[in-house]
């Protein structure tokens, strides 16, 4: 089965073709970072309009890259949520229309299930069951994954997601949008221990997260210190260390609670080098394994949607002609396979 995947949930237009036997055949991605940079964040209307401009050319480019035509596609998968409603409507409309025109089934894919399954695109995919840390600009969740669609939420952020806190703290430090990766680069120049930030909600039981207070602590620290380059780097280092420590502590608790020793990290923040290094060291010490996708598949992309869609289409799950998107969509509502 060959599936065309379309991702338009936020500010990346991604199109990919995944073959059940041969793997990933094409992967096209267009980022809107430059479009939104002047505004310091994603402008939903601009994002939707840019998806309209880019979706069809990227589909044509993906077919060309794979050396295929419409007759070679067996199904279409598109992101139906969660995300920006206007942006989601672009991908859903294009995907549903193509499937109808080509006479193939279409399936609506959950964006976070796409992220969760992104490590399956790698040569050494994780086996079920495992604990997944989904960590991005919009979500920070710990999930027990027993199989496709068999998801139990263990804990989540009660306010800001980790990626959102990264971006907001980067803005406080005067970094450009998107600030999270730039903050991590700056943190590598920082001196550990000059500033000590709290590790929120680690002094109590449970697996929920809270990062808004950490962001406020960072704002107060920035205001209380001069803004020379080294001080800014030291603040960035203290902030990143606090976030990474918090995520690590909660992951350890989740593994102990479930009795599992396989950990998957997915989502945009999973590309963070410090987080990967610390989690890998923790899992080595436990005799377990950590899995993650290559960096280009950590951020939004069509490949993860094509793969997730293929798995569901293989199991007979497909949509009707109605085009429905869900800006909010709990993972637990997905049908199990």
- Per-residue pLDDT of 98-107, as tens digits, reads 999 999 999 9
Averaged pLDDT for residues 269-286? 97
**Please, are residues 145 and 132 in contact by the beta-carbon 8 Å criterion?**
yes
Q: Which residues are annotated as a binding site for Fe cation?
A: 111, 115, 300
- 3-state secondary structure at position 80: strand
DSSP code at position 157: B
Q: What is the pLDDT of residue 226?
A: 82
| pTM to 2 decimal places | 0.96
pLDDT digits (tens, 9 = 90+) for 216-253: 999 999 999 988 999 999 999 999 999 999 999 999 99
Q: Which residues are annotated as a binding site?
A: 111, 115, 134-138, 167, 180, 272, 300
Averaged pLDDT for residues 193-220? 96
**Please, are residues 254 and 207 in contact by the beta-carbon 8 Å criterion?**
yes
Residue 206: CB atoms within 10 Å: 12
Domain ranges of the chain: 2-117+297-333, 128-292
CATH class of residue range 2-117+297-333: alpha beta
CA-closest candidate to residue 329, choices 84, 41, 76: 84
pLDDT over 90 at 137, yes or no: no
Q: How far is CA 235 from CA 31, 39, 79, in A?
A: 29, 24, 37
Q: What is the pLDDT of residue 257?
A: 97
Q: Which residues are annotated as a binding site for substrate?
A: 134-138, 167, 180, 272
Q: How far is CA 42 from CA 35, 106, 112, 268, in A?
A: 9, 28, 19, 15
Averaged pLDDT for residues 129-155? 96
Pairing of strands 130-135, 150-156: unpaired
pLDDT above 70 covers what percent of the chain? 100
> Do 128-292 and 2-117+297-333 fall under one CATH topology?
yes
Residue 286 burial (C-beta neighbours within 10 Å; 0-12, 13-18, 19+): middle
CA distance 15 to 298: 15
Q: Kindly report which listed range (78-82, 111-115, 136-140, 271-275) carries the lowest average pLDDT score.
A: 136-140
DSSP code at position 71: G
The alpha helices in 71-204, defined as continuous H runs, are: 85-102, 111-117, 162-172, 179-187
- Residue 152 backbone zone (phi > 0: left; psi -120 to 50: alpha; other: beta): beta
CA distance 333 to 122: 27
The fold of 128-292 is Nucleotidyltransferase; domain 5 (3.30.420)
Q: What is the pLDDT of residue 290?
A: 98
- Tell me whether the omega of the peptide bond preceding residue 129 falls within 30 degrees of 0, making it cis: yes
Q: At what angle do helices 162-172 and 229-258 cross, to 10 degrees?
A: 170
**First-last CA distance in the chain:** 18
CA distance 267 to 116: 8
CA distance 178 to 157: 21
């Amino acid at each position: 089965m060959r599936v065309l995947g379309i991702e338009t949930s936020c500010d990346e237009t991604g199109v990919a073709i995944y073959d059940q036997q041969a793997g990933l055949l094409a992967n096209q991605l267009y980022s809107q970072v430059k479009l939104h940079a002047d505004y310091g964040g994603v402008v939903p209307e601009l994002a939707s309009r840019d998806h309209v401009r880019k979706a069809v050319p990227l589909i044509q480019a993906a077919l060309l890259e794979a050396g295929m035509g419409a007759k070679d596609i067996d199904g279409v998968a598109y992101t139906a949520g969660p995300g920006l409603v206007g942006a989601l409507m672009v991908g859903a409309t294009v995907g549903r229309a193509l499937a109808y025109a080509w006479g193939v089934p279409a399936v609506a894919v959950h964006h976070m299930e796409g992220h969760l399954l992104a490590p399956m695109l790698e040569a050494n995919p994780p086996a079920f069951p495992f604990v997944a840390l989904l960590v991005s600009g919009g979500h920070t969740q710990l999930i027990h994954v027993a199989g496709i669609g068999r998801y139990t939420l263990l804990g989540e952020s009660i306010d800001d997601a980790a990626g959102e806190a990264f971006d907001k703290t980067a803005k406080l430090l005067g970094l450009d949008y998107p600030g999270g990766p730039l903050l991590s680069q700056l943190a590598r120049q920082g001196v550990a221990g000059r500033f000590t930030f709290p590790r929120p909600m680690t002094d109590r039981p449970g697996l929920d997260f809270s990062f808004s207070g950490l962001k406020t602590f960072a704002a107060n620290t920035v205001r209380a210190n001069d803004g020379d380059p080294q001080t800014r780097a030291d603040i960035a280092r203290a902030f990143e260390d606090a976030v990474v420590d918090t995520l690590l502590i909660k992951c350890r608790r989740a593994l102990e609670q479930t009795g599992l020793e396989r950990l998957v990290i997915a989502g945009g923040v999973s590309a963070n080098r410090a987080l990967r290094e610390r989690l890998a060291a923790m899992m080595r010490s436990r005799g377990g394994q950590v899995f993650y996708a290559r960096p280009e598949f950590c951020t939004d992309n069509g490949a993860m949607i094509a793969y997730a869609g293929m798995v569901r289409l293989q199991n007979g799950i497909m949509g009707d002609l109605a085009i429905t998107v869900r800006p909010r969509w709990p993972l637990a509502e997905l049908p199990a396979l």
